[in-house]
Structure 1
């Protein structure tokens, strides 16, 4: 009796057998048929883990150090749209990497791209000790910089004494989470399963 493949190997097999591009739902459906009993939630997590341009992959233990995305075990998929992926090809999609930003936090990006958000030396923290206008520029000059910073540090935030993590569903994670009335900047859940919504304004 042959040994059951790892979920990494299952995900790679699925994207190959599905012609090199698929929805996340297609991958789960293929694996349910090919490997009865496989856990859908585990598959969804491994899709994120194996997607080179998924910001949430840095939260997995396999991606806790800077490196090029050239590991055939972990760097398999490229996100082409919401809930859609393709087989990662650096010649087509560019070379991706896991790296540290100017705050020393892990992030993902194409090799050679400018790290975002800019570091504190470029945008010093304004003086918040008085009610008057700050003399220095805002620490986060763009709302997207603040959003990405919060998303990367979401596990350090507590609401009502409860720890948070990014919400993840079968399609995507909780950054710019789409709804019928527009995207939510950050959608998180606390350790009791309650939703926490971040709507940011600068």
Structure 2
């Protein structure tokens, strides 16, 4: 289990219906597997938990798909066991305010409450409206599901908690070797998702969805979130898209292969293949060599355009 502090958005009930209770009583909670006391039943990884509990979840919710069951069990494991003491949680209320706290205790089963699986939280005396967050953090906060990992926004969150100005954008990703255009590209992922149908990939693939809800952005896996997950329009191919701002190094090949392995093992149905796409500003000889023996991974180059137009209105 990682000792590095992580940051997660946690929804308390559908549309934050249970947020007031959690904020008042000091907890986060989940309602999956509602009638089972899970004390002592959490293995180290959510894959092991899924293997044990996914079928149990499907018996309680026969209308749900296998993928939806896996996502629900994964989120339950994260809330109740995977999150460490001291990890920071961000919880929206029904008015659009975001509340901050840290996990302060271990799992508790409370059968008297509609969300029985709880973790104690020490809430900070801090709340900001969603509109006061950066666009990129807002988008991460809006991801589908009970849990969304927003650790990549740690600097902005810590600046809010410290009443400081949010830090200037920097690139700390070790796979990025050219960061000169990083600030212009901060919305790359969101731009691609919002404009997906107009992209070359969007002509052949749709963003991945589970039971009608799009889950294709930041899809959770056991080795980190997939930037974009898509499925071919004929349903025969799952596409893993990894975005790198600046120049991508050969290390990204191993990263995307891990994600592809997860998709092949956990999501792909019989007859479905898995392909990978790396999107970056530039590649280099090391990346080209690595991809030369990875025929199921393709490289795309993007271009950032910036113009200044002199004069007044045309």
TM-score, normalised to structure 1, is 0.41
Q: For the pair shown, which has the larger CA radius of gyration, 1 or 2?
A: 2
Q: Which has the higher helix share?
A: 2
